[in-house]
Amino acid sequence: MRTMWLGLICQRTFGESSHFKRKKMMHWTELKKEELERQFSPSLWSHRMSADDVIKAHVKALKEGTERARGLAQTLLNVPYGEGDGEKLDVYIPSTNSLDVPLVIYLHGGYWQFLSKEESGFMAVPLVDKGVVVVAVGYDIAPKGNMDLMVSQVRRSVVSVVQQYSHISGLYLCGHSAGAHLAAMVLSTDWSEYSITPQIKGAFLVSGIYDLLPILSTYVNEPLKMTEEVAVRNSPSKLVPQLKLSSSSCHVVVAVAENDSPEFRKQSEEYYKTLEASGLDVTFEDVANTDHFSIIEQLVDGEYHLTKLLLKMMGKS
């Protein structure tokens, strides 16, 4: 009888809005290390294939898409945005006479320790076709780079792009997973320390992490070696007041995969709610039939829901 009653309590859904009906979840501080590590292992949650296979397929899809984009578009590869070896970006350029040319900067994922710009041009396939410039930014992943450096690098890459491409009709950001975290950090920049203040019109944050504290004690932090102080100052969830000052007119889309882990989904929901409560222009996209990897891989397809949404945001649908 007692177990039945407990079961009923656990199955009740909580949340103020119809958007976020979910089962009552433990707070991450109450989870054992093993469970936290499972929650922050996106590959374990895919319904499509095994953990190893989903990562292999992910890298393959990104590489193939990037090769296709490099074949289709005019490119400027390895353009420096700073002095460092890793401070380079790739530009995918449409052939168009239009004066209305938006530019989207893509920040790749991979837990700040995998992937590079070499497999990050895939989304240019449908976008360049519609007259959008795509920039894939490289940054120094761990162990070479640390969190403060990566955040500084992506901020400087945005400044450099704005300086190079002052004639564009609008600047947009897109990031996946760790790249969504970096994109949110760009939105939360105090630009007074930089030579210019970029005007970012829209940001697409896909399956991101916005609070770094839960990963501090997990395997994710092994190469990153973040202290609590580093994690706090690089957590977008703690920088929403700065985002409101710097990016008040930016349209933010917080997208999450239906089959992301509950903790990943919670990160997106909570960040969305905080932005919304601050009066920002923000939308939540719960993308059906996707996992942590397919949610971004499918951007090679012009007919994919998120591709269409991104084009619409840039006025190019």
Chain residues in the site for ligand NFK (CB under 6 A): 41-44, 55, 58, 109-111, 114-115, 177
User: CB of 116: closest distance to ligand NFK in angstroms?
Assistant: 10
Q: Is 85 a catalytic residue?
A: no
User: CB of 17: closest distance to ligand NFK in angstroms?
Assistant: 29
Q: Is 292 a catalytic residue?
A: yes
Residue 24 or 225: which CB sits closer to ligand NFK? 225
User: CB of 149: closest distance to ligand NFK in angstroms?
Assistant: 19
User: CB of 80: closest distance to ligand NFK in angstroms?
Assistant: 25
**Residue labelled with tokens 């397919």:** 294
Q: Which of 46, 291, 292, 294 is catalytic?
A: 292
- Sign for the pseudo-dihedral over CA of 295, 299, 300, 301: positive
Q: Which of 46, 120, 160, 177 is catalytic?
A: 177
Segments of the chain assigned E as strands: 13-14, 22-23, 74-80, 88-93, 102-107, 133-137, 170-176, 200-206, 251-257, 282-287
Q: Are strands 74-80 and 88-93 parallel, antiparallel or unpaired?
A: antiparallel
3-state secondary structure of 105: strand
CA-based diameter of the chain, in Å? 72
Whether 203 contacts 174, CB under 8 Å: yes
Residue 159 or 287: which CB sits closer to ligand NFK? 287
**Residue 179 main-chain phi, psi, to 5 deg:** -70, -30
Residue 55 or 79: which CB sits closer to ligand NFK? 55
Residue 114 or 194: which CB sits closer to ligand NFK? 114
Catalytic residues: 177, 260, 292
